[in-house]
Structure formats: C-alpha cells, structure tokens
Amino acid sequence: MVEIEACDVCVVGTGAGGGVLAYELAMAGLKVVSLEQGPLLAEDYFRVQDPPGSVKNFGIRPHTTWPSDPHEAFFGNALFAPTSEASAVRSPDGFLQYQVFAVGGLQNLWNGVSLRFSADDFASWPISYGDLAPHYTAVERLAEVCGTQENLPNLPDGDYIETKPFRPVDRLLAASVVALRDTDARAIPNRKAINTREGTHASCISTGACAFGCPVGAVYKFPAKLLPRIANHANYHLRPNAKVTRLISSADGKRVTAVEFLDTATGSTHRLSAAIVVLAAGAVESPRILFNSATERDPGGLGNRSDQLGRRLQDNPKSVLSTSLWRLWGKRRDFDIGYGDPLIVMGRGTLADGSTFPFIGHDSQGIPDIPHYLTGLKKFPPAIKVRLAKLMFNSYATIGLFCPGEPNPANRLKPGAKRDRFGIPQVEVDFTASPKAHQMMAAMEAWGRRVLRGASGTIIHGSSTNNGTGIHYAGTTAISADPNSGVVDANLRSHDFENLYVCDGGAIPSLPEKHLTLTIMALAHRLSGHIVREIHGRA
C-alpha cells in the first residue's frame, strides 16, 4: 500500500462535475487531487485524418450491408468502456450503460448541448432555479455556450456567444415545425458549449460531428479548456489511471478518511487521505464505489443508511428518426456544416389518459462517409446506390427527441456478483421501461415523422429506446431534504457522512426532458463555493 500526501479535497472523476469542481477549487488555492481511472488522451487523439465525406464512392464498399441502422454508429466508438471494464454488468437485452474512462469522461464524446433546467424542473429539489441561476451563468461563460435569447419559460435563457447559422436542412425542419400550428411546438437555434468565435484559439472548424470527438478542442471538456489553466499549479495534481476501489471511513462512521485506488498502469494500490472527498464519477460508477466501500457499520455501502443508494436510475427515453429530404436532392454544399445540429425542436405529446408531457431534441446533419440515407433500398443494385448516394449526399437529416425520465425506486443499481478485469465488483442493474415511457416514445416518434414529412422526408427510419442509450444517467444518489428519500442534501453532502459529497448526474432526483450536463456543471460550480467556505472556516 502506497500512502499519498494528504490533500484538502480529493475529486474522483474529471467529467462534467469533476472538471469544473477541480478547476474552481484549485483556482481558490485549495490543495486538490483529481483521480481519473482512465488515461489523459493525447492532444491529437481526435485529429481529423481525412476531411469528412472524402471517402471514395461515399463509403459504399463490397461489405456494406443493406439496410443499415444509422443510429448505431456512435455506440461503436472505441472510447466506450468494454463490458470487462464497465461499472455495471451489461447484457444485450438489459440496460446498456455507456462510460468513457479517460480524463474528461463522457465529455470526450459529448455533443455539447447545454440547456438550463426550468423553474418547474426543480419542483422535487431542495433548492430552486434561483439558487442555481448564477452558477448556470458562470459555467456558460467558462464553457463558451452559444445560443440566442428566446424568452421561453420552459427553457430559460443564458449568457451566450453567437451561434452557427442555419443550413438548408435546418430551415426546412424549422419551417415544418412552424407549419404544425401548435403553440407548444418550437424550433430555435441550439445551445451548445462550443467556441464559435472565428479566429480565436480552438475555435470550431465545422466538422459537423461533435459527438465523435472534437479534433481542435472547440467543444468544452475539462482537459481542453480548464486543465491547462491549473495543470502547473503547485496545489493541483491530476492522477490518471487511478481506479478508485473503495472509500475508507472512520471508526465512528462520521467521516471518510481516505480514498483507496488502483494504479491500472502498475497494478499497485494507493491510499490518499483528504479532508473532503467528492465523488463525481457518474451516476453508475459513484454508487458502485459506495457499495464497494461497505463496512460492518454500513453493510449496505457508504451513504446508504436509508436504503436509497442506487435507486431511481433514470435515462431519457428517446426517439431518433432519419430520412432524406427530397427538396435537397442534387444540391451542392455551399453552406457551413458547422457543428452538425444548429436547431433545437420542442413540443408536447399526449398520452392515452389525456395528460401531456414535454419533449425536446435537435436535428443532426453531418458529412457522412457511409450513406445511411439509403437504408431500406435493398432492391437497388450497387451501381444505382452509388448514383443515389451522390444525388442525396447533402439531403440526409436526423431528429433526436428526448422526454422526461421516471424516478421509479425499482429501477436501481445494486451490488453484483461479477467483477471487472481488475477484480473490482461490478453492480447489477434492475431497469424496466414503463408503459408510460413507451407511450411517450411512440408519441414523440409520431411527432417526429410529421415534422420530417413536412420537410420533404422520404423513407423515414425510426427507432425508440429507454435502455441506457440516451446516456443521460441520473437519480442514483438523489439530492433530498429528507435523509429517508435521498442520498445527499441540498449542498450535495452525504446525509450520512460530514465530509463526503457526490456531484454528478446521480444527484439529479427527477430527470426532465432536457440534457442534464449543464446542470451538473452548475451544481459543481455551486458546490465549489460551499467547499471553499467550509475549508476556510476550519482554518
């Protein structure tokens, strides 16, 4: 066992919450150590080798199969942790959680969509929108979020830089949404954490595929934007390849005294003492660490004295639809492809009982190397497919729609019997999509089809899932005023331990339709101020 010099704050994880938190604490002068179980990726890891769309014959190769699913390409990314390293046991017919174990976490493959939750979205929280509003503003400035002022109560405005312009596909889709003549249906410029300021350091170079990794660091992530500012500070230390195995708690069960981790590069075990420990490893990994830290005093895992740890696992049910817009057939690209999805669409769906629900999403048009827009044209011979690919190349469009998750206590993580390749116990997942979730997805898919048809859509390929492919995991360490209904309090501190905090998607008690990443970052910014005051108060 290698003992590490003690620090003020140990932050486990370097994603949305952990990155902002480490930066703010280090800038405030605290001695901070970040532990990340994956490596620091090379600066040119996502460097573009060939311009998008430059593959000969538009990606049609002898082994190309028809039809293909255009919605599966993203999930084959090599950065996603394999089953042997994942926090939870995975099965093809189960909950398919996706994780990235590298400095920056999931934000290495983040699409950058940055939306504030509304005042209504905080109804089940012990804090209000007003409590978080200044922290939203702070992280919007840190992350350089682009957007426009729209004055929509359900989608609060923020502090934005200029957006990328709409392209022909965006204008067609926006016009189709307007043509629905539905007061709840809106189409506005997307809000994304991307540097759109031309001529500045790491400004967007318009690859149109943010979610596959930005080659220049224009999309916000900790290693690209904030780590360089603190990397050489004497009071900050980043330890990659540090896989946390458990937390060590005091004999009286009031405090966490140390963090034990495995150096995956050397195989050695280390122990780091810290005045404060913050788990920011994600809504699946943070509970796993707490479960694996069980003691005689806390046999169900740390922070679990009310049996709430791991409960209410949520992900946004989603519907994704793709088509080719015939009005764009044969059109040459004389526009900036930008970041691929300059448009947000939103509306409300109706369930069988007459109740309604909100949904929100965005369009997507990149420059594909594989022409998924030919999905379903199985009867055409290869030569015709090539001609069609060239004709339809700039006409392909996708809409992804998301609706609220459901805080069902039965959807949960729990200690498992299997171990990962490092010998660390994984958690198991109990998750079932409710009949309501299926109704919501069906309603979203029907709405999306109307929009695509109105925009001149041809063959529409649609799929809906609530099995973890939304990658908006929440609820497993929920924030609550009552210790019997959650894991952390209004300041994200464990109800059971006075120096243990959790700051990731798990703290979000009820997942609205909106992307949760900006809210995690705002929570981290708010928590940083609380921790600085606490540490200074002890001095």
Residue 93 is part of which domain span?
Answer: 2-538
**pLDDT value, residue 51:** 47
Q: Does the pTM of the predicted model rise above 0.75?
A: yes
Cβ–Cβ < 8 Å for 192, 146: yes
CA 82 to CA 203: how far, in whole Å?
32
| Average pLDDT score, the chain | 92
CA 332 to CA 325: how far, in whole Å?
14
Read off the DSSP letter of residue 465. E
Q: What total of structural domains would you count in the chain?
A: 1
Ramachandran area for residue 34 (φ above 0: left; ψ -120 to 50: alpha; else beta): beta
Name the phi and psi angles at 130, rounded to 5: -60, -35
Token pair 């016009």 in the structure block, residue:
175
* Strand-strand pairing, 236-239 and 356-364: unpaired
Q: What is the pLDDT of residues 468-495, one digit of tens each?
A: 999 999 999 999 999 999 999 999 999 9
For residue 491, give the CATH number of its domain: 3.50.50.60
- pLDDT of 162 above 70: yes
CA 160 to CA 150: how far, in whole Å?
12
CB atoms within 10 A of CB 197: 15
β-bridge mates for residue 244, sequence order: 261
| Single-letter residue type at 414 | K
- For 137, the token pair is 């503003």
**pLDDT value, residue 259:** 98
- For 437, the token pair is 């979730």
Max CA-CA distance within the chain?
76
Token pair 């060239």 in the structure block, residue:
390
Cβ–Cβ < 8 Å for 259, 35: yes
**pLDDT value, residue 60:** 53
**pLDDT value, residue 69:** 58
CA 213 to CA 285: how far, in whole Å?
22
Name the phi and psi angles at 198, rounded to 5: -60, 145
